[in-house]
Structure 1
Amino acid sequence: MKALCWHGKNDVRVDTVVDPRIQHPRDAIIKVTTTAICGSDLHLMDGFMPTMKSGDVLGHEFMGEVVEVGSGVMNLKVGDRVVVPFTISCGECFFCQKGLFSCCDTSNPNWEIAAKAMGQSPAGMFGYSHMLGGFAGGQAEYVRVPFADVGPLKVPSGLKDEQVLFLSDIYPTGYMAAENCGIEQGDTVAVWGCGPVGQFAIKSAWMLGAGRVIAIDRVPERLRMAEASGKAETLNFDNVDVHDRLLRMTKGRGPDRCIDAVGTEAHSTGSLDAVVDTVKVAAHLGTDRPHVLRQAIMACRKGGTVSIPGVYVGLLDKIPFGAAMNKGLTMKMGQTHVHRYLKPLLEKVETGEIDPSFVITHRLKLSEAAQGYKMFREKKDECIKVVMTP
């Protein structure tokens, strides 16, 4: 079959690879009908994630048709149309039973590698390094889905792929980011990053009762989408001092809730801390550029909440933890517990409360995946979200 494979920093290619097969009774094989490029995939392309190996199949946002099931999978049958969570969860361990599916204790066969880096291992993930399981991803014609009796969600025939595809990741991720804020009716929510996750965080903040949403980015088309689709006020960080402007917009108090939807590869204009981050990463003296997280902590009102859906990789420098402590901030973060949100967020799609396809700007064939990655990373042709069909 054809699949997009990682071969090193800035080197992804569509290769011919071995077709997946059932390896465990709880497996299923999915014929991919639609897949997408996620901002987190760019961290792999940029070489930020360790334990990648040449030939690894990428992709963790995908859906398709069931073509084979293991003997232990009773909830699916051949021909079912499903969307698949990007986190792999067993459904039975201590954490899955608590609804903390991205913390699954069972699904990462390489848990010892992750435990050395993180203290304990999170769940396995599709197409996201050997530290997180070495599972082949879904930017491919077919994919093996472990724990298929727990993960995939059957979707109604009346909904198009593009309406439900993002249940695999970015829609629940944006929603959980807003939920983690603990939004109270009328709160002001500031969202750093107007990429796909940020766009869903904006919409979710309104769903959860925000009175005002302020979106921060510098890419014109992303800011326009945040205004038009997200009904947000916007700040271009190239043109304003974000901290000062947020304080002025909130009468000196600061936003009630702050969402860092950027993560490890944050950019800034003329900020010394961001310059130092960039130099350290280039010199292999640091792993992340957490400028946005610093800014969110400093801007958030006293007693407020900072929510972090943006992916971080390793050790962060110069985090104003004293400010967070003395201001009494709550910080919530983590990979998304996708399984928890599948059915309730599907219901919002079915009722028309949201059509997640609003975020799509480009549609390509899987054979064009390498070009899609480059276009997405370089933000060419006003690219915000790429979906692909095999």
Structure 2
Amino acid sequence: MKANCWMGRNTVEVQEVPDPTILNAHDAVVRVTSTAICGSDLHLYDGYIPTMKKGDILGHEFMGEVVEVGPEVRELRVGDRVVVPFPIACGACGACQHGMYSVCENSNPNAGMAEKLMGHSPAGIFGYSHMLGGYPGGQAEYARVPFADVGPIKIEDDLPDDQVLFLSDILPTGWMGAEMCDIKPGDVIAVWGAGPVGQFAIASAFLMGAERVIAIDRFPYRLRKAERAGAETLDYEKVDVLDALRDMTAGRGPDACIDAVGMEAHHPAGVVHAYDRAKQATRMETDRPHALREAIMSCRNGGVVSVIGVYGGLIDKFPMGSLMNRSLTLRSGQCHVQRYLKPLLGRIRNGDIDPSFVISHRMRLQDAPRAFEMFKNKEDECNKIVLTP
């Protein structure tokens, strides 16, 4: 089969690789019909996530048709159409029983590698380094899906791929980011990053009852999308964000702040940005946390900072004094996607949200190298690319 493979920093190639097979009685094999490039894939592409190996198959946002099931699979049948969540979860461990699927205790066969960096291991993730399981991803014609009775959700044929594909990751991630804010009627929510995850966080915050949402980004086409969703916007290259947020909230600050940016945050100028770039380039710091710092400093006293942007390791100049002295609550996590699949599928079916609005480009799987360059460099107002095998 054809698959998009990581070949080194800033290099991917579509190659012929062996077809996946059933390795465990609880596996399924899915013929991929749609797959997408996620912003967190760029962290792999840019070389900031360790333990990648040449030839690893990328992709953790995919859906398709079941073509084979293991003998212990009970919920799926050949021919079922499914969306596959990006975290791989067993469904039986303590974490899964508490709905915390992205920290499943059994799905990462390389847990020891993750423990060296993180203390404890999160769940395995499709196409996201050997530290997180070494599982081949879904930017391919076929994919093996472990624990097939726990992850995939069946989709009726009346809903097109474009409407349901993002149940695999970014729609539940944006929803969880807003949910962690404990939104109450009248709340003001600030969202750093108006890319696809940030756009879903904005939509989710409004659905949960936020009175105002303020989106912070620098790309005009992203800010226009946020405005169409009802958000107020700030271009951080043109204003001082902390001052602007104080002015917009009568000096109080947003009730909650969502970091939908993560480890490659950008800042237009200044000593701190140069410091972060230098430390990251020399691997003395793995992540650039400018958006996170700004979210913490901006949030009102007693508010919530919700972190759904991906971080990979260590950051410097973290404003712990602000967090502690002002009674802020910091919440974070890779999304527990399985927890949200049925409720969000219901909202799509009810017409509360049509996730396809984030798609800007559709391309063939064999064009993945070009697609990655477009997405990274924001060419042609690239917002979200869906690949078709």
TM range (shorter): over 0.9
2:198 aligns to what? 198
**Residues 1:207 and 2:207 are matched in the alignment:** yes
1:261 aligns to what? 260
2:95 aligns to what? 95
Partner SS state of residue 346, structure 1:
helix
Partner SS state of residue 7, structure 1:
strand
* Equivalent residues of 1:5, 1:56 under 8 A apart: yes
2:354 aligns to what? 355
* Equivalent residues of 1:176, 1:336 under 8 A apart: yes
Cα drift, residue 340 of structure 1: 0.1
1:272 aligns to what? 271
1:131 aligns to what? 131
2:26 aligns to what? 26
Tell me how far apart the structure 1 counterparts of residues 215 and 207 of structure 2 sit (CA, whole Å).
16
Cα drift, residue 384 of structure 1: 0.4
1:58 aligns to what? 58
Tell me how far apart the structure 2 counterparts of residues 20 and 316 of structure 1 sit (CA, whole Å).
37
Cα drift, residue 271 of structure 1: 3.0
* Aligned residue runs from structure 1 range 233-272, under 5 A: 233-272=232-271
Partner SS state of residue 301, structure 1:
coil
The Cα offsets for residues 49-95 of structure 1, whole Å up to 9 and x where unpaired, read as 00000000000000000000000101100000000000000000000
2:153 aligns to what? 153
Cα drift, residue 283 of structure 1: 1.8
Tell me how far apart the structure 1 counterparts of residues 281 and 100 of structure 2 sit (CA, whole Å).
35
Tell me how far apart the structure 2 counterparts of residues 291 and 53 of structure 1 sit (CA, whole Å).
29
Task: Provide the aligned length of Structure 1 versus Structure 2.
Answer: 389
2:222 aligns to what? 222
Tell me how far apart the structure 2 counterparts of residues 340 and 284 of structure 1 sit (CA, whole Å).
35
Tell me how far apart the structure 1 counterparts of residues 310 and 272 of structure 2 sit (CA, whole Å).
19
1:7 aligns to what? 7
Tell me how far apart the structure 1 counterparts of residues 269 and 33 of structure 2 sit (CA, whole Å).
44
Tell me how far apart the structure 1 counterparts of residues 256 and 270 of structure 2 sit (CA, whole Å).
23
* Equivalent residues of 1:72, 1:149 under 8 A apart: no
Matched letter for residue 355 of structure 1: D
1:373 aligns to what? 372
**Structure 1: gaps spanning 5 or more residues:** none
2:324 aligns to what? 325
Tell me how far apart the structure 2 counterparts of residues 342 and 235 of structure 1 sit (CA, whole Å).
32
Partner SS state of residue 117, structure 1:
helix
Cα drift, residue 113 of structure 1: 0.5
Partner SS state of residue 215, structure 1:
strand
TM-score, normalised to structure 1, is 0.99
The Cα offsets for residues 2-50 of structure 1, whole Å up to 9 and x where unpaired, read as 0000011011010000000000000000000000000000000000000
Tell me how far apart the structure 2 counterparts of residues 162 and 257 of structure 1 sit (CA, whole Å).
30
Cα drift, residue 272 of structure 1: 2.0
Tell me how far apart the structure 1 counterparts of residues 271 and 257 of structure 2 sit (CA, whole Å).
22
Tell me how far apart the structure 2 counterparts of residues 284 and 57 of structure 1 sit (CA, whole Å).
25
* Equivalent residues of 1:20, 1:143 under 8 A apart: yes
Cα drift, residue 269 of structure 1: 1.4
Cα drift, residue 212 of structure 1: 0.2
Tell me how far apart the structure 1 counterparts of residues 199 and 337 of structure 2 sit (CA, whole Å).
17
1:112 aligns to what? 112
Large movers: runs of 4+ above 3 Å? none
Tell me how far apart the structure 2 counterparts of residues 270 and 122 of structure 1 sit (CA, whole Å).
35
Cα drift, residue 284 of structure 1: 2.0
1:296 aligns to what? 295
The Cα offsets for residues 330-371 of structure 1, whole Å up to 9 and x where unpaired, read as 010010000000000000000011000000000000010110
| Residues 162-171 or 262-271, more deviating | 262-271
* Equivalent residues of 1:57, 1:138 under 8 A apart: yes
1:167 aligns to what? 167
Tell me how far apart the structure 1 counterparts of residues 270 and 294 of structure 2 sit (CA, whole Å).
11
Cα drift, residue 116 of structure 1: 1.2
Tell me how far apart the structure 2 counterparts of residues 122 and 210 of structure 1 sit (CA, whole Å).
31
The Cα offsets for residues 115-170 of structure 1, whole Å up to 9 and x where unpaired, read as 11111110000000000000000000000000001100001111000000000000
Matched letter for residue 214 of structure 2: I
Partner SS state of residue 135, structure 1:
coil
**Structure 2: gaps spanning 5 or more residues:** none
Tell me how far apart the structure 2 counterparts of residues 270 and 131 of structure 1 sit (CA, whole Å).
34
Tell me how far apart the structure 2 counterparts of residues 265 and 118 of structure 1 sit (CA, whole Å).
19
Tell me how far apart the structure 2 counterparts of residues 274 and 75 of structure 1 sit (CA, whole Å).
50
The Cα offsets for residues 159-216 of structure 1, whole Å up to 9 and x where unpaired, read as 0000000000000000000001111111000000001000000000001110100000
**Residues 1:389 and 2:374 are matched in the alignment:** no
Tell me how far apart the structure 2 counterparts of residues 370 and 243 of structure 1 sit (CA, whole Å).
38
Tell me how far apart the structure 1 counterparts of residues 337 and 273 of structure 2 sit (CA, whole Å).
32
Tell me how far apart the structure 1 counterparts of residues 263 and 182 of structure 2 sit (CA, whole Å).
24
* Equivalent residues of 1:32, 1:138 under 8 A apart: yes
Tell me how far apart the structure 1 counterparts of residues 137 and 342 of structure 2 sit (CA, whole Å).
23
TM-score, normalised to structure 2, is 0.99
Partner SS state of residue 12, structure 1:
strand
Tell me how far apart the structure 1 counterparts of residues 386 and 358 of structure 2 sit (CA, whole Å).
10
Tell me how far apart the structure 2 counterparts of residues 45 and 304 of structure 1 sit (CA, whole Å).
34
Partner SS state of residue 131, structure 1:
helix
Matched letter for residue 157 of structure 1: D
Partner SS state of residue 354, structure 1:
coil
